[in-house]
A = this chain, B = another copy of it.
């Protein structure tokens, strides 16, 4: 877990993002325990309030559940996975529409994206 203090996004948001990624990619699994608020705060040299805020947000979004006195645990994320997949699709569709508006038709765009993906893959 790494916080980038130069990032303009608030620290609690960076924590939320990183745990969401760990959970959605399967790096953390159902019922696995997250670090305690206090420990994570020390590890990141952040304020415990900030970590608590991140955990509260993750709970609100259905990524973890907390058990008093025991800690915070990863939820089953089938639902979140499907939701994120649909979000990704909607975001791509929006970008395709914007490209069309500035004169890049979907075939041309498809070609350019394919090229870019191959370049990345070749690195």
Q: How far is the CB of A28 from chain B (nearest CB, A)?
A: 13
Interface SS majority for chain A: helix
| Nearest neighbor of A66 in chain B, beta-carbon distance | B8
Q: How far is the CB of A64 from chain B (nearest CB, A)?
A: 9
The tally of residues in A whose CB lies under 8 Å from a CB in B reads 41
A10 an interface residue at 8 Å Cβ cutoff? yes
Flag if B116 contacts A104 (CB, 8 Å). Answer: no
Given A96-B117, A120-B97, A85-B104 contact (CB < 8 Å) = yes
The 8 Å CB contact of A106, one of B96, B97, B117, is B117
Distance of A5 Cα from B8 Cα, bound (Å) = 22
Distance of A95 Cα from B21 Cα, bound (Å) = 13
